[in-house]
Amino acid sequence: MKNLLSGLAFVMALASFVPLAQAEIREVDVTGGRVAGVPDGAIVSFKGIPFAAPPVHSLRWKAPQAVEPWSGVKQASAYGPSCMQDPNFAKIFNTLAGISEDCLYLNLWTPAKTPGDKLPVMVWIYGGGFVGGMTSVPDYDGIHLAEKGVVLVSVAYRLGVFGFLADPELSREAKTSGNYGLEDMIAGLQWVKTNIAKFGGDPSRVTIFGESAGGIAVSMLAASPAAKGLFQRAISESGGNFGPARMGNEGGVNMVTLKSAEASGHAFLAKLGANDINAARTLDAQKIQAALGPGLQGGFWPVFDGNFLPGDQYELYLAGRFNDTPVLIGTNSDEGALFAQPGMTKGKFESQIREGYGKEADAILSAYPHATDAQAAQSAMDVFRETAFAWPTWAWAMLQSQKGHGKAFVYYFDHRTPQSPPNGATHGSEIVYVFHNLGGILLGTNVKMQVRPEDTAMADLMTTYWSNFAKNADPNGKALPAWPAFSGADQRVMFFDTHSSARPAPNMGQVKAFDGYYAWRREEAKARRAN
């Protein structure tokens, strides 16, 4: 009996000792009040933390305001509502999150044991064409990336007309308008700077990363004076914003000037019967959303407002006016497949190129096979790949390597599965590997991902590179394929495929055809400004 009691005492002592060794950060005082997280193994998650006041009623179309304090302990166990958007996006992204104007919440996963751990921080910005997207997408769950020794944060931002409406009255009210969604991201980063140390994060080692519109937003923050000092590394997956402002039907450009955005925004509000901004702020949010139309329609996008986005980022980089950090950026091999236009023919393809690309059309057409309708269909997708993703990424890498002190690391994702399109890795397909969230429902389908050993190996590789970059400003590490920094003299990129290694990108001929096109458009824009 004595031995039994001694054994029990030992077990109880051991049990009491283990929690001390595994102590976690479970309750934290943050801006606004106290929050309680949810432990899951070695990671504690905090979901639905408000970082700004609800942007509703009189705060609609205003910069994010200070968070409203709460009493007691807020149980941070569930995602906040998604920002206003077409409800079908929730189905596309495989999430059941509710939709509301009251949506400025962030989420956090921490492996830290004490606030003094000072772990690197990664802040995720979701994609969705600036009209859809949410932090609650299962693919974005941060637990596995946090297990690599980083504090992971995901931040919500306003979308569509709620996030990017410009109007002359709004511009007079705040000296600018049209970039409320970007202001939300900046407010989220300011919250991180103020609060992240309490979660064991290091506010001097913050990496922003995002995909698609989120990756474009990362590039915008890299050029925004308002974001200066809020991050020290940047990762952009299929995103970049280095074209000039659109003035007409130019191909391959999305940004507009503040004046142009104000005119279209004012016309939109007039269509809704709102005579002024006060009247517009009383409109039902669902009515406004319904007027946009479904899916990616709506036409609201960030704006060259002269403030948060001073102007053409290519020119800003040439002038050294950007937030100089190391960058890790790249694209996927068949990005355009997700955006394929039905019924493409060789005649239609040639007509579209000539209408959109002016005097550079011949050079572009010569870079893309289109002798048959099948070739034209693939080339149309590849043109979308180059203009939306590949050329901005290459231009960013060139400018960063030439004008910045931070290194640029570039990748080309071509990992294929039995469920991939026939010609490569489609848009967004790298995300589940970056977050190591394999086996879920594939984006926009009801099909469950079949996980193979090579998929797990790819996820291991990419999470290691991404977390290494967050830790050290360099993705390289022990037992990894060497990833050289990009430069004009050495333009190798890291291929993620069956034999991951650094090699020249296969679409550089097409990318460089567009480099000539964008140079011509920039000169046109300068001439317009001069006149």
* Rg of the chain over all Cα atoms, to the nearest angstrom: 24
465's enclosing H/E stretch is helix 453-472
For residue 397, being part of any structural domain is answered with: yes
pLDDT tens column, 129-185: 999 999 999 999 999 999 999 999 999 999 999 999 999 999 999 999 999 999 999
The reported pLDDT for the residue numbered 1 is 36
Residue 1 lies in a domain: no
Low-confidence ranges of the chain (pLDDT < 70): 1-23
Given this model, what pLDDT does residue 22 score?
52
> Which residues are catalytically annotated?
212, 335, 427
Domain coverage including residue 481: 33-244+252-530
The count of structural domains within the chain is 1
> Would you state the pLDDT for residue 126?
98
β strands within 287-389, DSSP E: 327-332
What's the pLDDT score for residue 34? 98
pLDDT digits (tens, 9 = 90+) for 13-58: 333 333 333 548 999 999 999 999 999 999 999 999 999 999 999 9
Cα distances (angstroms) measured from residue 59 to each of 54, 135, 467, 475: 8, 22, 37, 41
pLDDT of residue 24: 85
pLDDT of residue 12: 32
Does a structural domain hold residue 59?
A: yes
| Predicted local distance difference test score (pLDDT) of residue 378 | 96
**302-331 residue pLDDT tens:** 999 999 999 999 999 999 999 999 999 999
Return contacts of 173-177, CB within 8 angstroms, 24+ apart.
173/277, 174/62, 174/63, 175/307, 176/258, 176/305, 176/306, 176/307, 176/308, 177/61, 177/258, 177/261, 177/262, 177/265, 177/303, 177/305
Give 232-275 as a 3 state SS string.
CEEEEECCCCCCCCCCCCCCCCCCCEHHHHHHHHHHHHHHCCCC
Q: Is 197 contained in some domain?
A: yes
Model confidence, pTM: 0.94
Q: Are 486 and 401 in contact (CB under 8 A)?
A: yes
4, part of any domain: no
Alpha-carbon distance of 450 to 216, in angstroms, equals: 30
pLDDT at 9: 37
Residue 11 lies in a domain: no
Q: Could you tell me if residue 438 is inside a domain?
A: yes
101 lies in a domain?
A: yes
The CATH number of the domain where 232 resides is what?
Answer: 3.40.50.1820
